[in-house]
Structure 1
Amino acid sequence: MSGILDSVNQRTQLVGQNRLELLLFRLNGRQRFGINVFKVREVLQCPALTAMPKLNPLVRGIAHIRGQTISVIDLSMATGGRRIEDLKTAFIVIAEYNRSVQGFLVGAVERIINTNWDAIMPPPQGTGRASYLTAVTEVEGELVEILDVEKILNEISPLNTEVSAEVASTLNTDAHKDKIIFIADDSSVARNQVKRALTTLGMEIEMAKNGLEALKRLKEIAEETGDVTDKVGVLVSDIEMPEMDGYTLTAEIKNTPELQKLHVVLHTSLSGVFNQAMVKKVGADDFIAKFHPDELASAVQKWLGPEE
């Protein structure tokens, strides 16, 4: 137990410091890729895969790992590359996204590095694989690509973004029609999923691609109005974002007088034992795991506050 607590304490020290840990891996060839360690449950040599009828072509098979059946997605194929052929030398990165566990087939796994979110930059425009990237960074003079896993998963198994009729009937934001809902997320797929779900509330929605962009815009609004809450009803923010993550964004908001009354809902595919400690430390109002439109819409309604 003390080992787990020490690990939690070590990672919560990163909160507000805009830092993260990346697991580096390769698909086919020399190009390096990265995934946030928080999303990784374990990494193991690729076990025997069981072929199943009618699987998506990007799913190479099913693996039985520690009593659980896990779909194994070929990350190279999923991003438009050639399939990973030699499964005997390949690895599976087992990760949790959007309340489910997936296995990602990769060619090789390197190591974990500790870096700053401000060293993680938006992807360059015009590259062939750019639509599958949320960010890039540089390690040892080489470009590391961070994949938009939410986009990949949505292409394989699209998420429902509609709020149920039952929940929709309980939503009433008439008193807040003059305010906006602000969304910050680096994944274009995730931004649009959140937007579609929250459109049910009938309010104007504004979006930013990362925490730094969101913070600048919120400060602009505060300069115009005197207090950001005069215009913005609630902020829904991802945690993993280039340049400034959601934890740091929240801490900046809560430490800025003209922003600190803004309610912040952290909405993320990250899961695990660390999040609640981190959410409490930075002062976020709520934490919602992606992606359940009913829970998200209800949380936004809650933090908009009572009718004025």
Structure 2
Amino acid sequence: MSGWTVDEMPAMDGETVVVTGANSGLGYEGSKAFADAGATVVMACRSEARGEEAATDIRRTVRGGHLEVRVCDLADLDSVAAFAAGLREEADGIDVLCNNAGVMAIPRGETADGFEMQLGVNHLGHFALTGHLLPELRASEGESRVVTQSSQAHTAGEMDFDDLQSEREYGKWSAYGRSKLANLLFAYELQRRLREADADVTSVACHPGYADTDLQFRGPREMGSSVRMGMMKVANKLFGQSAERGALPMLYAATSPEVTGGEYVGPGGFMRMRGSPEFQRSNAASNDEADAERLWAVSEELTGVEYDCE
């Protein structure tokens, strides 16, 4: 896959792609590339207004495809369920689900359902969404894919099941690392379950390296820290690759015929922060099958969403 670019994406005419967090950053660039390849892209956004603004911008530049904005707040399981129900009523199968949206290193907060915000949005919201949409993924003609966006920050994560919601002790970066580790445990466990059921759905994980997006600024913004905002701007300028380049691993994971399931795709350049997508290996904790099964059971209990992979 050396030097892979969006120009190598296959035609996606007639395919339906769902992208969470589609109004900015990696989700915006991914939506643009999918639409340019001819797909119908459902832009799942927390804000309908920001989603429509992004869709209008994308329509000015793409050659084809179709963009549809729908509200999906991953910090509210009722919103997730409503989004999925609406999509099930109208969509005739889903070919790709990109679990892309996320929050990073923010002060401790809770979702509408009382989950720690980073775990709730980054993992539990996507766990529920994928479970709700699994019948539509299975209804797609041919193979469909679930692409879950993780991060190299997963290496700093630890699955403390006795304090999963960080109620006793909270660190914004350790909580972020835990949520990104949870993304990988979920993606790999989903693939194992789909393979065992011989389902024509593939689960794959990816990470963007260090991409210059708005993700880095939410934490400093919520803290009201202009100093941290300035530091992030400098770091992004020095180390970050563009959001367009950062979206390449997700796009490769979603479309490449080389993907068979259970892979981890990320940029292969300097310190895995930038460069063309390649297959990589995540850390040992993310490959702990016992933790993956335990997280799955806890996630079903917390979200009330059970998977039917058979």
TM-score (norm 2): 0.35
Name which one, 1 or 2, has greater alpha-carbon Rg. 1
TM-score (norm 1): 0.35
Higher strand content, 1 or 2: 1
Higher helix content, 1 or 2: 2
